[in-house]
Each structure stands twice: as C-alpha cells, then as structure tokens.
Amino acid sequence: MWAFVANIAGLAGILGISVTNFLTDSLKSWIAVAAFVGVCAYLICQIFIISKKVLSQTHPSGFLPLSSIAKYVTSDGKNLEFETLRHLQIKRPFLRHIDHAFHWTGSKEPKVSSEIQIVQPVKRSQNTTASSVKMIFPRTRIYNDVEVVHIKMLIDDSDEKSETYLSMRVQAPICLISFQVDLLHVTQRYHGESAKFTRSLIENGSAAVIEDIKIIQFSASTKSFFHMVTNPEPGYEYKLWWPRPMLTNGKAAGKRQGVKVQSP
C-alpha cells in the first residue's frame, strides 16, 4: 500500500502537482493554526511532565517545610490537648492534600480535628506506633502557594500510658521548630523542675544515640516549658523531655511512649 502511495506522490511531483493546489487559502490558514496549536500543546505537555519529575525528585513530599510548632496542654494531667501548626510552601504544580504522620501508643485513640483542613479517619500501622491522617486542603494549592496545616488531638490519658515528651523529626531544611508544654495543673513544688532538649541522628528510619543539647527551666509564671530552634540540622529527631508531675499517690508514672510528630 505504502509503495502505491509513494508512486502516486512521485508521479504528482513529476507533474508539478502539490496537495496545496487543492486547498483554499482559508483551509490552508486553519491547517497552519491547527499545526501551531498542536506543537504548542505538545511542548507545554513536555514542560509540565519534566517539571513535575524534577520537583518530585527535589521535594518528594510535594512541599517545602517552613516551620513546625507543637503545643501540649493539660489542666489535670489526665486529659491532653496536642496541637500542631505547620507552614508549608507547595512545590508541585497542584496539591490537594498531605499525609500527617505521628506516633502515639496510649490505650485510647486520639480524637483528631482541624480548624482549617478536612480530616480523614486516622490510619494506624499494624504492630507499630505509627499513625497517619490525611489532611485535605480547603482548595487545591498550586506551585509556590503557602498553606497553614492545623491539627488538634484530644487525648484521654487517664491511665497515664504516655511518656512525657514531644518529638519532631526533621528530614529536610526548615526555618523553625518549636515545642511548648503547658502544665496548668502543677503546684508550686514543681516550679523548680527542668526539661531536657535532645536530638538523635535518624538512621535507617529509627533514631540512634541521644545527644543532650540544652536544659530548659520551667516557667512558674506561665506554668510551661518552651523551646524554639531556628534552622535545625536535618536528619535528626528532636525531643523535649520533662518530668511527669507527681500523682495523687505521690508516685510518678513510669516511662512510656509520648507524642512524636513527623516534620519533613
């Protein structure tokens, strides 16, 4: 078939016949426009695919973390409120949601909510303390948009199954991380206590040797511990540990798992 077509084309060339001779000027113009649009669409598609691939390699999570703020509040030592604010800059052409990872091994599941995002049911890994929750943005974000992610967890820790620490993993450059612990129920005898801020290198997905960084004094006026780090070194898990206030029977609870936040 193609040989026949080639023969016809060769004959037409010998006779000086061109396909355009059979087309009107108007049709020629439309064909030229269609060809131009097709080429532009192809180039735009290729640019989009290449850009998305490069961004996925540079920012696998789809965003650039700017800051992460963790706050722990209790007024009785039994009912806990854990709140996180994360400021992110979108690094994908389009992004509709993120997965927020955390660890909690208390006997009762936290009640998760948000003032900004739509929160999906918590997914918990089997045989581990790892959990995650999908946070859907109010509207689709585009490249370089900034999104504030808010998450709140209400936790019943009346059986005191949680250890007293906050943890945050920093896996990519970030401008700021901060920890605040409000112990509104403590008495004056707790005012002399101090917390310890540490970090440990993340190796094969788990934290290694603990490195002491700073001692944080308890603020009697605000009844809280607070510590902020600017430009923390990536590749470390940062923790703020504090002594559990004495219980009514005069004994402190044993060491158990606390709250860990995944911060890219």
pLDDT digits (tens, 9 = 90+) for 41-51: 777 776 666 65
φ and ψ at residue 158, rounded to 5 degrees:
-65, -25
On whether both 88 and 139 belong to a single domain, the answer is yes
β-partners of residue 99 are 134
The span from the CA of 202 to the CA of 81, in Å, is 27
Q: In this predicted structure, what is the pLDDT of residue 44?
A: 72
- In the predicted structure, residue 128 carries a pLDDT above the cut 70: no
Claim to verify: residue 225 and residue 259 sit in the same structural domain = yes
Q: How far apart are the first and last CA of the chain?
A: 60
Mean local confidence (pLDDT), 222-247: 93
15 in any annotated domain: no
Highest mean pLDDT among 12-16, 60-64, 156-160, 205-209: 156-160
210 domain-assigned: yes
The neighbour count for residue 253, using CB atoms within 10 Å, is 17
Q: Which residue has the tokens 């009762």?
A: 108
Same domain, residue pair 197 and 259: yes
Q: Pick the residue with more confidence: 220 or 157?
A: 220
> Which pLDDT score, from 0 to 100, does residue 114 have?
96
Provide the pLDDT confidence category of residue 15 given band limits of 50, 70 and 90. very low
Residue 147's nearest CA partner among 169, 179, 118, 123 is 118
Flag whether 5 is in a domain: no
Residue 180 has pLDDT above 50, yes or no: yes
Task: Between 31 and 1, name the one with better pLDDT.
Answer: 31
Asked if residue 172 and residue 48 are part of one domain, the reply reads no
Other Cβ atoms within 10 Å of 139 Cβ, number: 9
Q: For residues 255-261, give the mean pLDDT.
A: 45
Give the per-residue pLDDT at 206.
62
Backbone φ and ψ for 111, nearest 5 degrees, come out as -95, 115
Listing from the earlier edge strand, what are the strands of the sheet with 79-90? 111-113, 146-156, 79-90, 63-74, 176-183, 224-230
Residue entry with tokens 């929750």: 133
The H-or-E segment that residue 88 falls in is: strand 79-90
- Same-domain check for residues 106 and 196: yes
pLDDT of residue 95: 92
Q: Which of 6-10, 24-28, 141-145 has the lowest mean pLDDT?
A: 6-10
pLDDT at 255: 41
222: pLDDT strictly greater than 90: yes
Top-confidence residue, 12 or 49:
49
Between 48-57, 194-203, 219-228, the lowest mean confidence (pLDDT) is in 48-57
With tokens 């898990």, the residue in question is 237
Pick the closest to residue 68 from 84, 82, 83, 81 (CA basis). 84
State which residues form the domain around 47: 20-58
The pLDDT-based confidence of 88 (bands split at 50, 70, 90) is very high
On whether residue 174 sits in a domain, the answer given is yes
> ∠ at Cα 132 (107, 66), nearest 5°?
125
**HSE-CB for 148 with a 13 A CA cutoff:** 8
pLDDT of residue 112: 93
Q: 215: domain CATH number?
A: 2.60.40
Q: Within this chain, do residues 45 and 90 fall inside the same structural domain, yes or no?
A: no
Highest averaged pLDDT of the listed ranges 53-62, 101-110, 118-127, 202-211: 118-127
Total domains in the chain come to 2
**How confident is the prediction for the chain on average, in pLDDT?**
81
Q: Are residues 254 and 136 in the same domain?
A: yes
Residue 126 has pLDDT above 50, yes or no: yes
146 alpha-carbon distance from chain centroid:
13
Strand (E) or helix (H) holding 26: helix 25-58
